[in-house]
Amino acid sequence: MMEFSKQWAQAKDKSDKLNGFKNEFYFPQHNGKPVIYLTGNSLGLQPKQTKAYIQDELDAWEKLGVDGHFEGKRPWMEYHKFFADKISKIVGADKEEVVVMNNLTVNLHLLFASFYRPTKERFKIIMEGGAFPSDMYVVESQVRHHGFDPKEAIIEVTPREGEHHLRDEDIIATIKEHGASTALVFFSGVQYFTGQVFDMENITKAAHEVGAFAGFDLAHAAGNIKLELNNWNADFAAWCSYKYLNSGPGGVSGIFINKKHGNNPDTPRFAGWWGYKEDIRFQMKKGFVPEPGAAGWQLSNAPVFSMVPHLASLDLFDKAGMDNLVAKQKEITAYLEYILKETASQLKIITPKNRGTQLSILTDANGKKLFDYLTNNGVITDWREPHLSDMAFGVIRMAPVPIYTSFEDIWRLGEILSNY
Q: How far is CA 23 from CA 26, 42, 137, 242, 404, in A?
A: 8, 21, 39, 19, 8
Sites in the chain below the pLDDT cut of 70: 387-392
Question: What pLDDT score does 387 carry?
Answer: 66
CATH number at 54-319 = 3.40.640.10
Residues in Cβ contact with 286 at an 8 Å cutoff, skipping those fewer than 6 apart: none
Which neighbouring-strand residues pair with 126? 155, 185
Q: How many CB atoms lie within 10 A of CB 7?
A: 10
Domain spans of the chain, in order of start: 6-49+322-418, 54-319
Q: pTM, whole model, 2 decimals?
A: 0.95
Question: What pLDDT score does 388 carry?
Answer: 58
Question: What pLDDT score does 68 carry?
Answer: 96
Question: What pLDDT score does 364 carry?
Answer: 84
Characterize 322-354 residue by residue with b for buried, 16 or more Cβ atoms within 10 angstroms of its Cβ, and e for exposed: bebbbbbbeebbebbbebbeebbeebebbbbee
Task: Map 239-268 to HEC letters.
Answer: EECCCCCCCCCCCCEEEEECHHHHCCCCCC
If you classify domain 6-49+322-418 with CATH, what class do you get?
Answer: alpha beta
What is the C-alpha to C-alpha distance for residues 301 and 324, in angstroms, rounded to an integer?
34
Question: What pLDDT score does 366 carry?
Answer: 84
Task: Please write the tens of the pLDDT for every residue from 295-332.
Answer: 999 999 999 999 999 999 999 999 999 999 999 999 99
Question: What pLDDT score does 367 carry?
Answer: 84
Task: Please write the tens of the pLDDT for every residue from 383-394.
Answer: 988 765 556 678
Q: How many CB atoms lie within 10 A of CB 280?
A: 11
Question: What pLDDT score does 361 carry?
Answer: 94
Question: What pLDDT score does 168 carry?
Answer: 96
- How big is the CA angle at 407 (ends 406 and 410), to the nearest 5 degrees? 100
